[in-house]
Amino acid sequence: MNEWANSGIDLHLDLRLDLAGGTGARAGLERALREAVRVGRLAPGTRLPSSRVLAKDLGLARNTVAEAYGQLVAEGWLTARQGSGTHVADGRRPSGPPARPGRVQATVPRRTDRDTRGGRLAETAGILPDPERFTYDLRPGSPDLSSFPRAAWGAAARRALAAAPHEAFGYTDPRGRPELREALAAYLGRVRGVRTRPELLMVCSGFVQAAGLLGRVLRAGGARSVAVEALGYPHTVEILRTARLAPVLLPVDDDGAQVDALDHGVDAALLTPAHQFPSGSPLSPERRTATVAWARATGGVVVEDDYDGEFRYDRQPVGALQGLAPEHVVYAGTASKSLAPGLRLAWLALPPALVEPVLDEKRLADHHSPVLDQLTLAELIASGAYDRHVRRMRLHYRRRRDRLVSALAERAPAVRVSGIAAGLHAVLRLPPGTPAAEVVAAARARGLGLQSLDDFGGRDTEELVVGYGTPPEHAFAGALDALCALLATQSRGAGAAQ
């Protein structure tokens, strides 16, 4: 089994171009590290993973990593001291994202045509309404809430509370506490390849609020239509319509969203490039390139929903699209999957041209998000406890995924599983002639919560979307048994009907 999923701290490095160029693994690693330091993704003083850990993460020989570290120490990019590890040298001054980006279409510095109806978007009910009515719940959209790191969170909260300045308890910066924005800027650069600075980050009360803020800003700037994946959370389309934006649906296939439709006059796009929900397909390299080219050519805005970017199992993480064009891509992240949706913590990494208009909307929405949880998350990240929790949960969910796949292969072999290289859910293709809606209804009658692809934009499909991350730990085995028993029964029924 790959060990990169649970060892040490996380560090995103994309070596593909270097290795493809024939420069070798060591040279490719050196070049990737230099670039990460140069653009500011790895801030001065950042402690790097040990050579053993990074070698496991990247699938390289330990000597290769050690030699690359040694070369960069000699060049002055890194420092190494016996007993204290390898760090980014303090002398380098990263350039960061460009301070003066080109024009961003569909934005204005200040909103002048404010919606007289108020424009405040009420937070919708959770993705999983009334889970108590099911004996077992395998609907997607939630992490294992029983695994919330209570002890680590409590310890971080105590430290953060003790260190918090008095002014933190007053009306604070609508963008969020500086402690959290600084921690996030370093973490997102290191782990997801995001190119941002603390002053470009906006902390929000969940993704729904973040999307609502962006929708109203885009509308005020002249946007009238937004491309969105045809498969996805239904509330995404509702948010856009509430902002008086017309959604243009992009078909989804094994390479992610079909982005050629972006050339048909849309003003912006909202995508899940790293892990399309719910199909599980990442946006292919060709389509990532095409999306960035469209944004640069038209001045369009791309909103990148990176809802579960930390959870990758059988492949290295797909870096954030934002890292390719930070002046055109808004990066949206959240703690809802890595920790818990009840925290209501999300963040936007904004192009400079969008900071002020989004800040105006945030002031009117709630002025600022709750402070204590922001300070606690900042402390959790800074102490390394967040990295440790994410790696522990990555292994936890991978084991659950493996148990699901193994159980289906043994007890419902006619079912085909896909979308399992990442995330907290899987797509199950039922035997031909088995309507997914009927299986969902049969599951409900048995006290088992399931959803089909139809619930996320499909039409009369034969596919289920199973959230293997949802059940609490004590209930997962029972949920798996209930699912396999149901599918075995349905498969026999479909076979008899044929």
For the beta sheet containing 416-418, the strands, ordered from the edge strand earlier in sequence to the opposite edge, are 416-418, 426-429, 463-466, 451-452
d(CA 367, CA 361): 9
Can you give the pLDDT at residue 118? Answer: 35
Can you give the pLDDT at residue 119? Answer: 35
- Please give the radius of gyration of the chain, using alpha carbons only, rounded to the nearest integer: 23
Terminal CA-CA length for the chain = 40
Phi, psi (degrees; rounded to nearest 5) at 358: -70, -35
pLDDT at 317 over 90: no
Residue 144, SS3?
coil
Cβ(331)–Cβ(351) under 8 Å?
A: no
Residue 152, SS3?
helix
pLDDT at 21 over 60: no
Can you give the pLDDT at residue 125? Answer: 34
Indicate the pairing of strand 136-137 with strand 225-229: unpaired
d(CA 166, CA 169): 6
Contacts of 471 (CB under 8 A, 6+ apart): 136, 137, 138, 144, 478, 479
pLDDT at 396 over 60: yes
338: closest CA among 147, 183, 139? 147
Can you give the pLDDT at residue 258? Answer: 96
Can you give the pLDDT at residue 487? Answer: 94
pLDDT at 5 over 60: no
pLDDT tens digits for range 241-268 = 999 999 999 999 999 999 998 987 899 9
Q: What is the DSSP string of 245-268?
A: -EEEEEPEETTEE-GGGGGGT-SE
d(CA 267, CA 299): 9
Res. 9 pLDDT band, cuts 50 70 90: confident
Tell me which H or E stretch contains 202: strand 201-204
d(CA 316, CA 393): 16
> 316: burial class by Cβ within 10 Å (0-12, 13-18, 19+)?
middle
pLDDT tens digits for range 35-92 = 888 888 888 888 899 888 888 888 889 889 988 898 888 778 898 887 778 999 886 4
> Residue 288 CA to chain centroid, in angstroms?
16
Tell me which H or E stretch contains 359: helix 352-365
pLDDT at 364 over 60: yes
Can you give the pLDDT at residue 8? Answer: 59
Q: What is the mean pLDDT of residues 281-287?
A: 94
Range with lowest mean pLDDT among 122-136, 268-282, 412-426:
122-136
List the CATH code of the domain at 4-88: 1.10.10.10
Whole-Å CA distances, 255 to 20, 190, 366, 384: 21, 26, 38, 34
- The DSSP secondary-structure symbol of 206 reads S
Contacts of 456 (CB under 8 A, 6+ apart): 231, 232, 233, 234, 277, 278, 465
Res. 495 pLDDT band, cuts 50 70 90: low
Angle of helix 62-75 relative to helix 51-58, nearest 10 degrees, comes to 120
Q: Does CATH number 2.60.120.1440 belong to domain 149-383? A: no
Res. 108 pLDDT band, cuts 50 70 90: very low
Range with lowest mean pLDDT among 48-57, 161-170, 221-230, 310-319:
310-319
pLDDT at 132 over 60: no
Q: What is the mean pLDDT of residues 161-179?
A: 95
Angle at the Cα of 110 (from 109 to 113), degrees rounded to 5? 135
Q: What is the mean pLDDT of residues 374-390?
A: 97
* Number of helices (H), then strands (E), in the chain: 14, 17
pLDDT tens digits for range 203-222 = 999 999 999 999 999 999 99
If you average pLDDT over every residue of the chain, what do you get?
86
Whole-Å CA distances, 307 to 71, 172, 310, 341, 422: 36, 26, 9, 11, 12
Q: What proportion of the chain, given as a percentage, has pLDDT over 90?
A: 67
Cβ(50)–Cβ(87) under 8 Å?
A: no
Residue 171, SS3?
coil
CATH code matching the domain that covers 387-497, chosen among 3.40.50.1100, 3.90.1150.10, 3.30.930.10, 3.40.50.2300:
3.90.1150.10
Residue 342, SS3?
helix
Res. 19 pLDDT band, cuts 50 70 90: very low
Which residues of the chain form CATH 3.40.640.10?
Answer: 149-383
Which residues of the chain form CATH 3.90.1150.10?
Answer: 387-497
The torsion of the CA quartet 383, 385, 387, 388, rounded to 10 degrees, works out to: 140
Which residues of the chain form CATH 1.10.10.10?
Answer: 4-88
Res. 483 pLDDT band, cuts 50 70 90: very high
